[in-house]
Amino acid sequence: MINVTALLRSELSWFVLAILAALVAGLIVGAPLLLMLLASIGYTIWLLVRMANIVKWLESGAASSKAPPTMGLMDQVVGLIHREKAYSRKQKNRYRSTLARFNHLAAVLPDATVVFDNMRNIQWSNHAANTLLNIHEERDHGQRIDNLLRAPEMLNYLAQEEEGLEVEVSSPVAPEKTLSMIKVKAAKGMTVLIARDITQRVKVREMRKAFVADVSHELRTPLTVIRGYLEMVLDDDMLDTKNKDALLNVQAQSDRMQHIVEHLLELSKLEGNPLGESEGQPIVVSSLLQNTVKVLNESIGSSHELIVDADEELLLIGSESEIYSAINNLLANAINYTNAGTRVIASWHLNDTGLPLLSIDDNGAGIEAQHLHRLSERFYRVDKGRSRENGGTGLGLAIVKHAAQRHGGQLLINSTPGHGSQFQIEFPASRIASAAKVMNM
Ligand code: ADP
């Protein structure tokens, strides 16, 4: 700690000494006041010169070797400046080495990372950005990112306001590589774009899909042959009851297998294969609902009350067979997993936010909350026994989910045990068509 009082005292004692010396000299020459005045002016000028030297030294960069010769208070000022400079040099070195370490770490990260500002100008990128996105750390600094990533899917993604969404795109460097891109907003208007090479993951996913599709396809023929022979043998009047019962059992199981194979094939066609933005035909969803309910009513009689509440003017652009399959699965579930006397309402309207919403509501027994998020997984069933009894494959809701996703929509499930369940598909506004418009086309 600097003792400021002691410093002032020493500076003051130099001043007093100079005045006293001037007084003695003044008394000798007979002009004490004049010499004292001259001494104080001289001292002030000397002080100002020392200060001016320090200012000049500071202005020239305050190099330690060029520090002006000082004493007293000014010497302390120079000492403090030396100390501050040494401290800030140390801090600067620390920041520099932290930055170097961060840059090194970011450079070796396998994920491409690009930081851009709200004008989309690139502020920083790492080495992987060069290998995966062809964005060079130095060459492309300050360039607009949308001038460098020109593929329509990438431009669409960059233009989207919503953050945290993940998209799969092909690498602009090597189109055979698939990248998963995500962007997040950082502080001060900056956005961080991260791209990861998921080529292997996509390959494994595609292989699994192809394997399931191939196996299902291969099982189809032997199953058809088995079912044909079974029918032939069952037609035989000579068959005794014991054997007939056993064969009827085999037939029921082969029917079940046939359903699973058909559902697996349907699923593999839908999965990860989105429809183009304007792909599809205008579908009169209200008619699909009416017709499905009519057919179901014929088969179940009066066990359930089926009600349709649909906007006939509201059409959906999409694949009719897929929407029919989704409606059929949802209505069949609402009948199969509820007791006789249950009321099922199938509705089709624009919801509060103006999006087309298909909803199948029942006032059945409902589903416990812990099952809800797993219902659309393949082969997930709440009540295995009941599903089997109803001929369920455990794939119905997975098909509904993928059909919804193919249309850019999403499956929403709500249920309250004791009150009923609600299965909804919310479609994007881009899939709306109106009956009046379609008629005029
Ligand atoms: P499944 O072929 O077994 O019907 P789904 O994928 O269609 O398979 O349905 C999964 C499970 O969800 C069913 O096994 C059933 O337990 C439950 N579930 C579906 N719909 C309803 C509903 N409306 N009410 C109660 N449970 C339902």
The rounded Cα 288 to chain-centroid distance in angstroms is 35
Query: Beta 343-350 vs 305-310: how paired, if at all?
Result: parallel
b/e map of 112-121 (b: 16 or more CB within 10 Å)?
bbbbbeeeee
C-beta of residue 317 within 8 angstroms of C-beta of residue 278 = yes
User: Is 82's pLDDT higher than 70?
Assistant: yes
Cα 333 to ligand 1 centroid, rounded to whole Å: 6
Instruction: Kindly state the average pLDDT of the residues 355-372.
Output: 96
Query: Beta 356-362 vs 410-416: how paired, if at all?
Result: unpaired
Question: Would you say the CB of residue 145 lies under 6 angstroms from ligand 1?
Answer: no
Closest residue to atom 27 of ligand 1, CA basis: 337
Closest residue to atom 16 of ligand 1, CA basis: 382
Give the integer Cα–Cα distance in Å for 63 and 59: 10
User: Is 307's pLDDT higher than 70?
Assistant: yes
C-beta of residue 139 within 8 angstroms of C-beta of residue 162 = no
Question: Would you say the CB of residue 393 lies under 6 angstroms from ligand 1?
Answer: yes
C-beta of residue 126 within 8 angstroms of C-beta of residue 113 = yes
Question: Would you say the CB of residue 399 lies under 6 angstroms from ligand 1?
Answer: no
Give the integer Cα–Cα distance in Å for 343 and 335: 9
For residue 329, which atom of ligand 1 is closest to its CA? 7
Least confident of 99-108, 206-215, 217-226, 296-305: 99-108
Q: What is the pLDDT of residues 325-339, one digit of tens each?
A: 999 999 999 999 999
pLDDT value of position 437: 63
For residue 364, which atom of ligand 1 is closest to its CA? 24
Q: What is the pLDDT of residues 154-192, one digit of tens each?
A: 998 998 887 778 899 999 988 899 999 999 998 888 999
Question: Would you say the CB of residue 78 lies under 6 angstroms from ligand 1?
Answer: no
Three-state SS for the chain is: CCCHHHHHHHHHHHHHHHHHHHHHHHHHHCCHHHHHHHHHHHHHHHHHHHHHHHHHHHHCCCCHHHCCCCCHHHHHHHHHHHHHHHHHHHHHHHHHHHHHHHHHHHHHCCCEEEEECCCCEEEEECHHHHHHHCCCCCCCCCCEHHHHCCCHHHHHHHHCCCCCCEEEEECCCCCCCEEEEEEEECCCCCEEEEEEECHHHHHHHHHHHHHHHHHHHHHHHHHHHHHHHHHHHHCCCCCCHHHHHHHHHHHHHHHHHHHHHHHHHHHHHHCCCCCCCCCCEEECHHHHHHHHHHHHHHHHCCCCEEEEEECCCEEEEECHHHHHHHHHHHHHHHHHCCCCCCEEEEEEEECCCCCEEEEEEECCCCCCHHHHCCCCCCCCCCCHHHHHHCCCCCCHHHHHHHHHHHCCCEEEEEEECCCEEEEEEECCHHHEEEHHHHHHC
The residues facing 132 across adjacent strands are none
Give the integer Cα–Cα distance in Å for 32 and 362: 114
Query: How many CA atoms lie less than 13 Å away from 271 in the CB half-sphere?
Result: 22
283 backbone dihedrals φ, ψ, rounded to 5° = -110, 130
Give the integer Cα–Cα distance in Å for 330 and 338: 12
Q: Model-level pTM greater than 0.95?
A: no
Give the integer Cα–Cα distance in Å for 91 and 107: 24
Cα 360 to ligand 1 centroid, rounded to whole Å: 13
User: Is 435's pLDDT higher than 80?
Assistant: no
pLDDT value of position 400: 97
Instruction: Kindly state the average pLDDT of the residues 207-230.
Output: 93
317 backbone dihedrals φ, ψ, rounded to 5° = -90, 120
Q: What is the pLDDT of residues 235-269, one digit of tens each?
A: 988 889 999 999 999 999 999 999 999 999 999 99
Give the pLDDT band (50/70/90) at residue 441.
Answer: low
Closest residue to atom 4 of ligand 1, CA basis: 392
Instruction: Kindly state the average pLDDT of the residues 283-296.
Output: 96
Give the integer Cα–Cα distance in Å for 234 and 240: 10
pLDDT value of position 130: 93
Using the structure block, give the residue that is written with the tokens 């064969």. Answer: 247
User: Is 370's pLDDT higher than 80?
Assistant: yes
pLDDT value of position 178: 95
For CA atoms 241, 243, 249, 253, give the dihedral sign: negative
Give the integer Cα–Cα distance in Å for 208 and 215: 10
Using the structure block, give the residue that is written with the tokens 């305050």. Answer: 62
Question: Would you say the CB of residue 362 lies under 6 angstroms from ligand 1?
Answer: yes
Domains of the chain: residue spans and CATH: 4-103 (no CATH), 109-197 (3.30.450.20), 205-270 (1.10.287), 281-440 (3.30.565.10)
- Average pLDDT of the residues of the chain: 91
